[in-house]
Structure 1
């Protein structure tokens, strides 16, 4: 009887080794009980406008009623690739866009070097617009944009590597969705964000369990962010699929043992 109770205890421990509290997003943790359902949560008072950094790539297009006016300002290779001449794989935006140098300057045909580093997308577009207006009396429209939000996902994601979200603003949960739902073996209370700043890099840690994340400055991701999810210690048993298979095998073996013990006990009676 003691042996049977031991097996039941062993089965219970294996079947409940990972608590739901360790895998559930946006919980009402101690200290933030005021954040309930339907509660209005304002964004953190920070500037969410991304400022262009050295080595960023931007797309700059020119348009006018007279197309001959703008041909001299367009990189002809980019024009051909946009028209379908690029072929093959890879990031088309990288080949058709303009890269900022280490000092934040972008070099455009005829216009030369323009310093747009440290500017928002709108401010950079305005600066290029002012530069081209010096050449023509006729209006030439400039469109400058960042090629979506590029970030890198590492660790316990099902789709690791560099990802792209084609939006001007994206939340941390947009990034999690693009990178694949994190496995049950991820430490969701320890998501590291490696973020690039003008003078260097910082490492930030956020807790995906905590509803206060919605009001934090890290609710929105930025271009060039690196997201890293640590694995739990149980990771030594393998990934989530392997762990599930192992538990299934243990349960099957335990069930067989229970059946044998029951049969043996019945014969003795």
Structure 2
């Protein structure tokens, strides 16, 4: 029995160890063309312009030399036509803590936004620039004076599930964000997350697709999924080691096992008299 216990402890320790290769980002994996440090990596040949969808929230600002004109497009208790002063990056939280949810212009199920004085304007299925031009055309028909329009997505909203240190609906106040921006904004992944199996559930016009990416692979920098999009859902699977313990209590579990092992050996020595 005394001979088997150390072997059992070593076996448990061996299966509990996590290789650095499983947790290190941006490696040069052997199956791919190596990417060296300082090497220029062009973005994937894809169109990164986001297409507006129903239930998106957009920011619409109006500017004119005549302030009275822009006030006509402001909702009650909203000092500007749309939003202002909300640039930069921001972290976490759901819509309950997000002022853009209450002050922005929400695209309804029919793909329209309702702007004071202008009524409903269909902008779903368009890029930000195309939607801006559509609103500008509508306002040009309403006023002869010059009123300029700025329209943009009110931050990138995405959801994290699984082995993230912070899960839930997150917001990044930028018009473009990488997968690593999303990871950092979500408190990083847990130690037990399968970084080679991050699933992106992405909304498309008329449906949804599930994509799998490998964060261990340096080739992600040239992937079309290097940039996240609004409404993405990021799900990371746990490693099988979770059957033994999670990242927080694994060390404590091993320490407890080691203590029990030492106590058992001591009792055996006392009983056998060796």
TM-score, normalised on structure 2?
0.84
Contact 1:32 1:211 in 2 (8 A): no
Aligned to 1:44: 44
Deviation at 1:188, TM superposition (A): 1.1
Instruction: Report how many aligned residue pairs link the two structures.
Output: 259
Deviation at 1:107, TM superposition (A): 1.5
Report the Cα distance in structure 1 between the residues aligned to 2:247 and 2:142, rounded to whole angstroms.
61
Distance of aligned partners of 1:37 and 1:253 in 2 relative to their CA distance in 1, 3 Å threshold: farther
Deviation at 1:227, TM superposition (A): 0.3
Contact 1:105 1:114 in 2 (8 A): yes
Report the Cα distance in structure 1 between the residues aligned to 2:116 and 2:198, rounded to whole angstroms.
43
Q: CA RMSD, aligned part only?
A: 2.6
Contact 1:153 1:227 in 2 (8 A): yes
Contact 1:61 1:74 in 2 (8 A): no
Secondary structure at the aligned position of 2:142 is classed as: coil
Q: Is 1:114–2:121 an aligned residue pair?
A: yes
Aligned to 1:86: none
Secondary structure at the aligned position of 1:76 is classed as: coil
Report the Cα distance in structure 1 between the residues aligned to 2:152 and 2:31, rounded to whole angstroms.
41
Distance of aligned partners of 1:111 and 1:161 in 2 relative to their CA distance in 1, 3 Å threshold: same
| Aligned with 2:240 (options 209, 233, 238) | 233
Deviation at 1:194, TM superposition (A): 0.4
Q: Which runs of 4+ in 1 moved over 3 A?
A: 2-6, 77-83, 251-258
Alignment of 1:1-269 (within 5 A): 3=2, 7=6, 10-11=9-10, 13-14=12-13, 17-79=17-79, 90-254=97-261, 260=266
Q: Deviations over 1:182-202 (max 9, x none)?
A: 112111111110000011111
Q: Deviations over 1:10-48 (max 9, x none)?
A: 336515532222111122212224222222221110011
TM-score, normalised on structure 1?
0.86
Q: Comparing both structures, which one devotes a greater share of its residues to helix?
A: 1
Name stretches of at least 5 consecutive residues in structure 1 with no aligned partner.
Answer: 84-88
Larger mean CA deviation between 47-56 and 61-70 belongs to 61-70
Name stretches of at least 5 consecutive residues in structure 2 with no aligned partner.
Answer: 85-95
Report the Cα distance in structure 1 between the residues aligned to 2:99 and 2:252, rounded to whole angstroms.
41
